[in-house]
């Protein structure tokens, strides 16, 4: 007799899926913990193919960052994890940047990268040439960089322990907005001419 079995089953599973995941509803309210949860989900909410293609490296940095954060891949919302793809053409560079509050782990897929970070004692630089299959960890919030150190296109993947780690890129934060030249000069010790030159290149004003 099967019916009593099903009674017991449905009884046992009376807690909702909310315990399991919270696929982000990009149109719903957002709170400090992330997007609100979509009501209906399928497996496609948990799979993303946006990192399969090579990023366009025809730009100033000869590199591209393709993120799969909660805004692009809402399946990670609330799960505290995300990933991004790095493509670096020959001579390409992922400029000096930080992720506010998230640690990063890089995995080199193709090519050779020079990667490094600086600790907050200002004295210490931790940098090394990474080859295919190497991994390196960049502790949360510290300045770090990656440079294509080889003679071929390079590909790497960077994981984060946050669904939305953010990327704060130093030269863009300084030179691509309206932060006044005088303020930059005082707070970075850079020369005014240097600042104005880079604001010109990067579209900044002030």
The interface with its own copies within residues 53-82 (CB under 8 A) comprises 53, 55-56, 58-61, 63-65, 67-73, 75-82
Considering only 153, 178, 181, 196, the residue that binds its own copies (CB under 8 A) is 178
Binding mask 125-154 for its own copies (x = CB under 8 A): xxxx-xxxxxxxxxxxxxx-x-x-------
Q: How far, in Å, CA of 98 to CA of 91, rounded?
A: 21
In the complex, the smallest distance separating the C-beta of residue 17 from its own copies, rounded to whole angstroms, is 5
Q: Which residue has the tokens 């960077």?
A: 158
Tokens of 64: 């591209």
Name the DSSP letter for residue 37.
Answer: B
- CA angle 54/133/161 to nearest 5° reads 75
110 among the known binding-site residues? no
Please, what is the minimum distance in Å from the beta carbon of residue 91 to its own copies?
9
Helix (H), strand (E) at residue 172: helix 170-175
Burial 91-104 (b: 16+ CB within 10 A, else e): ebbbeebbbeebbb
Give me the least distance between CB of 115 and its own copies, in Å please: 8
In the list 150, 153, 172, 196, the residue contacting its own copies (rule: CB under 8 A) is: 172
90 in contact with its own copies (CB under 8 A): no
Residue 195 CB, nearest approach to its own copies (Å): 10
CB 132 within 8 A of CB 109: yes
Annotated binding site for oxalate: 99, 104
């Amino acid at each position: 007799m099967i019916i009593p079995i099903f009674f017991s089953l449905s009884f046992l599973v009376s807690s909702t899926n909310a315990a399991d995941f919270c696929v982000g509803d990009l149109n719903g309210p957002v709170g400090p913990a992330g997007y609100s949860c979509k009501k209906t989900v399928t497996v496609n909410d948990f799979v993303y193919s946006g990192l399969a293609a090579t990023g366009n490296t025809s730009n100033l940095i000869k590199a591209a960052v393709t993120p799969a954060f909660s805004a692009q891949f809402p399946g990670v919302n609330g799960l505290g994890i995300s990933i991004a793809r790095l493509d670096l053409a020959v001579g390409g560079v992922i400029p000096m940047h930080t992720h506010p509050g998230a640690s990063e782990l890089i995995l080199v897929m193709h090519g050779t990268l020079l990667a490094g970070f600086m600790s907050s004692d200002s004295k210490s630089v931790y940098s090394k040439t990474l080859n295919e299959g190497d991994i390196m960890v960049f502790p949360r919030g510290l300045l770090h960089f990656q440079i294509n150190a080889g003679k071929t296109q390079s590909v790497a993947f960077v994981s984060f322990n946050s669904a939305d780690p953010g990327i704060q890129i130093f030269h863009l934060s300084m030179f691509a907005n309206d932060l006044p030249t005088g303020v930059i000069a005082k707070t970075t010790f850079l020369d005014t001419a240097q600042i104005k030159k880079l604001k010109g290149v990067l579209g900044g004003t002030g």
